[in-house]
Amino acid sequence: MPTWYNSTVVRIEQASPSVRRFWLQTPDEPHPDFRAGQFITFDLPVGEKRLQRWRSYSIASAPGDDPDLLELCIVRAPDGLATRYLFDDVQVGSTLRWKGPEGTFCLPDTIEKDLVLICTGTGVAPFRSMLRDLQHSGKPHRNIHLIFGARTEADILYRAEFEALARSMPGFRYDVALSRQPEWGGYNGYVHQIYLEHYAQKRPDVAFYLCGWTNMIDDAVANLLVKLGYDRSQVLYELYG
């Protein structure tokens, strides 16, 4: 049987027009240990059936951050019962019930390849956890390329943090593609153009991690495996929705 925890929401911050950051604290004990990239699953009072009540979200904080807090980064789904509850009913002081952490979408203990982290929207959460974990741990790594996709500049999550990391972390590169703001100074369109441009020459020493909505991941997997010819073992992914 899984262990369930009751955490208090101690902080909520609007990260973009449709995304909020939630900080959870377990008042009676520290939260359980987790690996960067893992997720927790809420049991929310939004229905009778488990499929209605259970919703999983990646942890956006790192194991080396505040041991009393977990941070989640959640997008409001237009017709979602779960996020309607989280956005309309949950406030600072509310209690949320969850189990976990779970999941295997994590970096290896020994990083021997360049990492290309490709995400859209709140799919950036596990990558933010991984990057902060590398900072805290000082674990050796090679080059890391974070590729983030959103609609507009207002939707770029953790922008200042990643831009600062690009200036301070050796081997780290950060690129953003916006699909609905053609006048901005970065990439226009979707994330696919970026990795297709930078990794067109197939290499055995690179690993691609993908996180986001199903359509993006389906297209990226097809591009990497079929169009560019990478081996299946070089492509790992976590689906949202």
Tens of pLDDT along 52-84?
899 999 999 999 999 889 999 999 998 889 999
Mean pLDDT for all residues in the chain: 95
Q: How confident is the model at residue 159 (pLDDT cuts 50, 70, 90)?
A: very high
- Token couple for 113: 């390849």
The Cα–Cα gap between 57 and 98 comes to 10
Contacts of 200 (CB under 8 A, 6+ apart): 228
Contacts of 225 (CB under 8 A, 6+ apart): 232, 235
Phi-psi region of 37 (alpha: psi -120 to 50; beta: other; left: phi over 0): left
List, for residues 88-117, the tens digit of each pLDDT value.
999 999 999 999 999 999 999 999 999 999
Q: How confident is the model at residue 197 (pLDDT cuts 50, 70, 90)?
A: very high
| CATH fold of 4-102 | Elongation Factor Tu (Ef-tu); domain 3 (2.40.30)
What is the percent of the chain with per-residue pLDDT over 70, rounded to a whole number?
100
Q: Name which of 34, 220, 189 is nearest 126 in CA terms.
A: 34
pLDDT of residue 239: 81
Q: How confident is the model at residue 241 (pLDDT cuts 50, 70, 90)?
A: low
CB 140 within 8 A of CB 108: no
Q: Is the Cα dihedral 122, 162, 215, 224 positive or negative? A: negative
pLDDT of residue 87: 98
Q: How confident is the model at residue 190 (pLDDT cuts 50, 70, 90)?
A: very high
Domain ranges of the chain: 4-102, 114-240
DSSP calls for the chain: ---EEEEEEEEEEEEETTEEEEEEE-SSSPPPP--TT-EEEEE-SS-SSHHHHEEEEEB-S-TTS-TTEEEEEEEPPTT-HHHHHHHHT--TT-EEEEEEEE------SS--SEEEEEEEGGGGHHHHHHHHHHHHH------EEEEEEESSGGG-TTHHHHHHHHHHSTTEEEEEEESS-TTSSSEES-THHHHHHHT-S--TTEEEEEEEEHHHHHHHHHIIIIIS---GGGEEEEEE-
Q: Name which of 1, 16, 21 is nearest 61 in CA terms.
A: 21
pLDDT above 80 for 147:
yes
| CATH for the stretch 114-240 | 3.40.50.80
pTM as predicted: 0.96
